Chain A
Amino acid sequence: MADIVLVPELLASRQVRRHNSDCVDIWAALDAVTDPEIPVLSIWDLGVLHDVQRQGDTVVVTITPTYSGCPAMDEIARNIRELIEAQYEVQASVKISLSPAWSTDLISPQGKAKLREYGIAPPHERGAAGQPIACPQCGSTDTECVSEFASTACKALYKCRSCGEPFDYFKCI
């Protein structure tokens, strides 16, 4: 039973919106836009892609920023515009919306698996706070936090006592 993954409400409503959208193809095309700092994660996996709508001749894409000062947002917005304008030959505009607030709950289960493969420990599930963080290299939970902040705004620095490797943990907020 412990393996049943509960999908947060906001993520579920996004999945429905994507599935029922009249521009499913654009949602799918946007899977090619990734976070410049974590290139294995698409903006969908990261939970940043909120909505895609055609409004007349324009495609309006809504994204929700991760961290206040995250410099990747400007680049993500630019990449979205360029991709849509190149592939669909329509105007694209990107709306950055603060609401609903992004949280690590919005990272998809696939996204978490990709993070782990990439060598970044994914954020723990809601309600699992205080649980040990598993090393993405060897899987050991004998790890320690070296610093609450690491190479980018979204990560903390950990060290595995078992295999000795330092690793990034995608911090949970």
Chain B
Amino acid sequence: MTDTVDKQVLFRYVQALGDDALVLGQRLSEWCSAGPFLEEDLALANVALDYLGRARMFYEYAAQVEGAGRTEDNLAFDRTAGEYHNHLLYELPRGDFAITMARQLMIDLYSVEYLSALCHSRDETLAAIATRCLKESQYHLRRSREWVVRLGDGTDESHYRIQKAFNELWGYTGEMFVPDANEQTLADAGIAVDCRDIREKWDRQLDTILAEATLERPDEAPAIGGGRQGVHTETFGAMLTELQYMQRTYPGLEW
């Protein structure tokens, strides 16, 4: 089935999905021991763990598709910044709790729609991974939704901060709905998700939650993109330094 598509195209796609999961997992894990209170600390660490697990599944499959002898660890830890192809929203610094939760809500909504579609991929492995991850994203969404409503419809300070968070992040959401040539090829083949198709649902659901949270939908901001092409934001290199530290210091280290 997947023999009909170029292996390199599929590899790049699966690896990019792994990159999204890895960098967000890393950002979330930065909250570990710094959460606002114990239960929230555990929740953030749990979500981070789900994303790292997700990254492993995508990387393991990507490595298998590539068939060049690289492992999931090689893909996760042995590449330079320009070789990561995640969407930029996923890599932005964790910021304050409002930034973390506004981003999480937008990504959870996106993931639920994206993975629901990916469950029907003609590629059986991608469909199986999506089925596994969808249930987790649905669970994550329950919490991020609740937090955004609580902060938006909370005190003056929490309302101000969460509104500011949405405004600041807004410009980074556009690229998630614009397929690159690689994704387009695979979407046409019934393997990847055509991310333009999920825009309308995402917009509608986000608007409902924002209204409930007494928040304004941000004004259209200049779209910032380039993540899928390997162009990153300023702090990405610093994050990679920490992410890759052990493997760079002790190459090939295993647990």
The interface residues of chain B, by DSSP majority, are classed as helix
Q: Could you tell me the distance between the alpha carbons of A98 and B127 in the complex, rounded to whole angstroms? A: 10
Task: Decide if B42 is an interface residue (CB 8 Å cutoff).
Answer: yes
A-B CB contacts (within 8 Å), total count:
71
Contact with A along B43-60 (1 / 0, CB 8 A): 101110111111011000
Let me know if B139 and A173 touch, CB within 8 A: yes
Task: Decide if A48 is an interface residue (CB 8 Å cutoff).
Answer: no
The minimal Cβ–Cβ distance linking B36 to chain A, given in whole angstroms, is: 12
Choose among B47, B49, B56, B136 the residue with the greatest number of A CB atoms under 10 Å from its CB: B49
Contact with B along A41-71 (1 / 0, CB 8 A): 0000000000000000000000001011111
The minimal Cβ–Cβ distance linking A116 to chain B, given in whole angstroms, is: 22
Task: Decide if B135 is an interface residue (CB 8 Å cutoff).
Answer: yes
A101 surroundings in chain B (CB, below 8 A): 128, 131-132, 135
Let me know if B40 and A68 touch, CB within 8 A: no
B136 surroundings in chain A (CB, below 8 A): 67-68, 173
Let me know if B50 and A153 touch, CB within 8 A: yes
Q: Which of A67, A68, A98, A149 contacts B39 (CB 8 A)?
A: A149
Q: Which of B47, B51, B56 contacts A149 (CB 8 A)?
A: B47
The minimal Cβ–Cβ distance linking A156 to chain B, given in whole angstroms, is: 9
A149 surroundings in chain B (CB, below 8 A): 39, 42-43, 45-47, 143
A87 surroundings in chain B (CB, below 8 A): none
Let me know if A171 and B139 touch, CB within 8 A: yes
Q: Could you tell me the distance between the alpha carbons of A69 and B29 in the complex, rounded to whole angstroms? A: 13
The minimal Cβ–Cβ distance linking B60 to chain A, given in whole angstroms, is: 10
Task: Decide if A147 is an interface residue (CB 8 Å cutoff).
Answer: yes
Q: Could you tell me the distance between the alpha carbons of A68 and B130 in the complex, rounded to whole angstroms? A: 11
In chain A between 100 and 121, which residues have their CB closer than 8 angstroms to a CB of chain B? 101-103
Q: List 6 A-B contacts (CB under 8 A).
A: A68-B132, A69-B49, A69-B54, A101-B128, A153-B50, A157-B39
B interface residues with partner A (beta carbon < 8 Å): 39-40, 42-43, 45-47, 49-54, 56-57, 124-125, 127-129, 131-133, 135-136, 138-139, 142-143
A interface residues with partner B (beta carbon < 8 Å): 65, 67-71, 98-99, 101-103, 146-151, 153, 157, 171, 173
Given known contacts A67-B50, A68-B49, what 6 new A-B pairs fall within 8 Å (CB)?
A67-B49, A98-B57, A147-B39, A149-B47, A173-B136, A173-B138
